[in-house]
A = this chain, B = another copy of it.
Amino acid sequence: MNRNPIGVFDSGVGGLTCLEELRKLLPNEDIVYLGDTARVPYGTKSRETIACYARQDIAFLEKFDVKMILIACGTVSSVLMTENLFDGSRTELYSGVIYPAVKSAYAQTKNRRIGVIGTPATIRSGCYGRALRELCPDIKVVGKACPLFVPLVENGYTNVDNKVTRLVAEEYLDVMKKENVDTLIMGCTHYPLLKDIFADILGDRVSLISPGAEAARFAAKELMKRDLLNDREGEGSCKLFCTDSEELFSENVTAFLGNEVTAEISKCTL
């Protein structure tokens, strides 16, 4: 048993999809969430800059004596595979979104043809391909950078009938149809908000994997396995931190999730 909080971070509000899943699975855990909104997005930046920002995010969460850090950012999770972000850190338990997503995708694919969509940094890193081929060397992985999906989601272009998003999604997903993938990893926390459009374009026989939700399930299992769950009764606390203003964070969350923020929000400096 361990009553310390769980730390979760992302470049902005996208990781809240992962946080929501975590709170559903482990309602009595305390959670500290950090969104680096003053420097968002990470996905269009270089590997070195992303690694530098991620180390500062981790250092911030460690001040809360977190028992686990969950990297709810697809871009940072990709960089984690090549740079050891936790070198010198005192967090023993951490997870990005790659491994949980890859495990789930591999369990679901029948034809061993898996698609991965993500930010330019995630796709450039090739991390999903490497992780999938470690599980199964003859798997076919089709990667496609989709840089317009994040701004589309952040501007509320998420409705299944939205013509702009549909046009962009058809262009991006064309290669997935041509390559006949039967499983698609939505490798950025923003993408699950477009899943109805993806399903419409790709058809029902393609399984859609949400790495944020998979990571939350993975974290819950790991904490249980290591006997690190919080044994306290009652609902856990949730603290949200952002690096730009609280008002802007609150507005962005409402635009992103469609509902008001109920947790406490504080601005912090990294």
Which A residues fall within an 8 A CB radius of B? 37-40, 44-46, 48-49, 147-148, 150-152, 154-155, 157, 163-164, 167-168, 171, 243-245, 247-248
Q: B38, A45: Cβ atoms under 8 Å? A: yes
CB contacts (< 8 Å) of A157 on chain B: these are 148
Looking at the assembled complex, report how far the CB atom of A82 sits from the nearest CB atom of chain B, in whole angstroms.
15
In the complex, the chain B residue whose C-beta lies closest to that of A37 is B45
When distances are taken between beta carbons in the complex, the residues of chain B under 8 Å from A171 are: 164
Chain B nearest Cβ from A48, distance in angstroms: 6
Closest Cβ–Cβ distance, residue A104 to chain B (whole Å) = 29
Query: Quick check: A46 and B245 within 8 Å, CB to CB?
Result: yes
Question: CB < 8 Å: which of B46, B48, B148, B248 contacts A45?
Answer: B248
Count chain B CB atoms within 10 A of each CB in A150, A151, A157, A243 and give the residue with the most.
A151
Query: Looking across the interface, which residue of chain B has its beta carbon closest to that of A121?
Result: B248
How far apart sit A154 and B243, CA to CA, in the bound complex (Å)?
A: 25
Instruction: Find out whether the CB atom of B148 lies under 8 angstroms from the CB atom of A152.
Output: yes
Report the Cα distance A46→B40, complex, angstroms. Answer: 12
Question: Pick the contact of A38 from B39, B148, B150, B243 — CB < 8 Å?
Answer: B39
In the complex, what distance in Å separates the CA atom of A37 from the CA atom of B44?
9
Shortest CB distance A157–B (Å) = 8
Contact indicator A244/B46 (Cβ below 8 Å): yes
A266 to chain B, nearest CB (A): 14
Known: A148-B152, A152-B148. A46 touches B167 (CB 8 A): no
Q: How far is the CA of A152 from the CA of B150 in the complex (A)?
A: 12
